[in-house]
Amino acid sequence: MKTIWLILVNAVVLYLSTLIIPTGIQSDAFLTTIWAATIVAGCNYIAFKTIIGLTLTAILLSISGIFGIIGAAFMVFAMEALFLYTANWLLVGFTITGFWWAMLVVTFLGIGNYMFLPKNKNTQNA
């Protein structure tokens, strides 16, 4: 159920992104954005933990302190932008015109996920 909610929230945010920045991201129909959100969720599920495990360790070991955190955050954003480009490559009718537009859409996705996805709360008392 959580995955379906994630896909729906991401689809709505992607569709709103097409309305807010029509030069950066375009979609023919809402169904196309649902497919794009499904592809992004699938990429996150399959590749995210493996890639984060490898790149986050390298980033944090090579750059310490605040720059390591900023570098890791940028790397996560760049990975999400690549996942959007995967949807762009696989879907007809879903277009992203540039890397920085994809980064802006990823920012919108992060805000939307933070606002609308349920948080994991520990209901068990200590």
Query: Is position 61 within any domain?
Result: yes
> How many domains in the chain?
1
38 is written with which tokens?
A: 């499904």
Query: Is position 19 within any domain?
Result: no
Could you tell me the mean pLDDT of each successive run of 10 residues in the chain, 126 residues long?
84 90 88 90 79 66 62 79 90 90 91 82 52
Q: What is the pLDDT of residue 113?
A: 85
Burial class (CB in 10 A: 0-12, 13-18, 19+), 90: exposed
Contact between 24 and 96 under an 8 Å Cβ cutoff? The reply is yes
Residues in the chain: 126
Range of the domain at 42: 2-12+24-116
Query: Is position 30 within any domain?
Result: yes
Query: Is position 126 within any domain?
Result: no
Query: Is position 66 within any domain?
Result: yes
Query: Is position 72 within any domain?
Result: yes
pTM equals 0.76
44 is written with which tokens?
A: 């996150």
